[in-house]
Structure 1
Amino acid sequence: MAADAVLYGDERKILVLGIGNILWADEGFGVRAVEHLAAHYSFGPEVQIMDGGTQGLYLLPVLEDLETLIIVDAIDFGLPPATLHHVEGSAVPATIGARKMSLHQTGFQEVLALLDLRGHAPRAIHLVGVQPVTMQDYGGGLTEAVAQQVSPAVQMVLDLLKQRYGVSPTPLQQTSAPGAGVITQAVARTAYEQGRPSEELACRYGDERVLARSGV
């Protein structure tokens, strides 16, 4: 076990959290990354994989007193589009707050500040982010360049878990079902991106992927 890994009973409290809004193209990068991670690897009880979406303050109970928090998100680092970047420690809230590209980042910066104020901040915090190409395409999936960074981002997370915290997941022999327990199958990446209607149909009838349906 890594020297800086803290035990809580029989488990280490490590959370890999994807945040973002899948409805706005590259803003969904963090969610798609954790979806991919959960679909291809099995973890022990010490690691939780979670789609945090845009929940903001509702995430507080989940984040309190973690040993390690690894956030995956689309972030404006001021780098070329589709560039992956990793920051840690105090640089994480500073980076999230420096160039806010969406409302969920404002909310999540507040979450981190409240955790720190209450004395329940994670002992270690990391941010694995990608510089988005666009976050202005409503109903769109990841752009091609950013989609190609999903697997490398997952590998960055795996490297952090192994090298810093001594955690090695088990690769799954067969990929899990769409969503892999972190996101509903209806909006899992393949179904969501392949199910986008044409502009004409969406204009006339709406987008069934995001419209509320009666009786559901």
Structure 2
Amino acid sequence: MLTCPQTGVPAIVVLGIGNLLWADEGFGVRCIEALEQHFEFAPHVSLIDGGTQGLCLVQYVQAADSLLIFDAVDYGLAPGTLKIVEDDDVPAFLGVRKMSLHQTGFQEVLMLARLTGRYPRRVLLIGCQPDEVADFGGSLRPAIKASLERALELGLERLAAWGGEPTPRHTPLNADDAVTLPHLALSRYEGERPSEADACRTGDVRVLLRMRREEPPSCV
């Protein structure tokens, strides 16, 4: 059993995965942001903005006795649909897509942690079916934003059952200590980002590494 070094109590890690700059791909990180803004937890609970850090996240998986993951997951369902997956079923469902060929998916992170023999006793994924992930600089679509509150409720229920002691926040959150950088906080991100007319949302192919598809030659 993995324990928190400070308390000796089984460690709980809450991990949000995704890229805030790609619309609904930021769902997992926005969940972590909202949890930290509105709730406090026992000392053995760690909230982690996992972003797209790839194999760097293995240390957090290895440190967890119980691991709760929030992520945008392509289940093939209606946008905004939430689905809970647990324990050994989790690796099959994680992630919408890889942004490049050399971005490590979280499935590989879980497999590496298992190979090292330091794997959580309990794993829970709360995944949300995205609506749009190809809008560079976009934010959560309405259906996904509407599902965020329910996702938090489900996460809080499980954290309470695991002994994470979630309570409404009474201590003001210092912006410098927030898991999400202040300039990327949801309200500021949506309020200050340029409009689609002022900033291209499809990006430059040199940045996005997207190849133009050519029509195959016709057979004559």
Name the TM-score class by shorter chain.
0.7 to 0.9
Helix, strand or coil at the partner of 1:202 = coil
Change (3 A) 1:145 1:174: farther
Q: Is the 8 A contact 1:38 1:180 kept in 2?
A: no
Distance 1:65 1:52 in 2: 14
Match of 1:102 among 98, 103, 110: 98
Q: Secondary structure at the match of 1:191?
A: helix
**What runs of 5+ residues in structure 1 fail to find an aligned partner?**
207-216
Larger-gyration structure (1/2)? 2
User: Retained in 2: the 8 A contact 1:20–1:30?
Assistant: yes
Distance 1:150 1:10, change over 3 A: same
Q: Who is 2:23 aligned against?
A: 25
1:131-155 Cα offsets, whole Å, 9 max, x none, are 0011011100100110111111111
Give the conservation status (yes or no) of the 8 Å contact 1:41–1:172.
yes
Change (3 A) 1:200 1:80: closer
Equivalent position of 1:83 in the other structure: 81
1:192 to 189, 192, 196: 189
Matches for 1:51-130 after TM superposition, within 5 Å: 51-96=49-94, 100-103=96-99, 106-130=104-128
Match of 1:213 in 2: none
- TM-score (structure 1 length as normaliser): 0.83
Give the match for residue 160 of structure 1.
158
Match of 2:49, SS state, is: strand
Do 1:39 and 1:178's aligned partners in 2 also have CA atoms closer than 8 Å? no
How many residues are matched?
A: 197
Give the TM-score taking structure 2 as reference length. Answer: 0.81
The 8 Å contact of residues 178 and 188 in structure 1, kept in 2 or not, is answered as: no
Match of 1:144 in 2: 142
Deviations 1:65-123 (A, max 9, x none): 410111100001121110011110111001127xx433488521111111111111111
The one of 124, 129, 132 aligned to 1:131: 129
Aligned CA-pair RMSD: 2.3
- Supply the distance in 2 between the matched residues of 1:182 and 1:47 (Cα, whole angstroms): 13
Alpha carbons of structure 1 residues 178 and 28: separation in structure 2 relative to 1, 3 Å: farther
1:179 shift after superposition = 8.2
Q: Structure 1 residues 92 and 7 mapped into 2: Cα distance closer, same or farther (>3 Å)?
A: same
**Contact 2:42 2:165 (C-alpha < 8 Å) held by counterparts:** no
Q: Are the structure 2 counterparts of residues 118 and 174 from structure 1 closer, same or farther at C-alpha, using a change threshold of 3 Å?
A: closer
Amino acid corresponding to residue 77 of structure 1 in structure 2:
Y
Contact 2:16/2:71, CA 8 A, preserved across alignment: yes
- Match of 1:80, as an amino acid? A
TM-aligned CA deviation for residue 60 of structure 1 = 1.6
Which contiguous aligned blocks of 4+ residues in structure 1 show a shift greater than 4 angstroms? 5-9, 177-180
Report the CA distance shift for 1:170/1:125 in structure 2 as closer, same or farther (over 3 A): same
Q: Structure 2: which 5+ runs fail to align?
A: 204-220
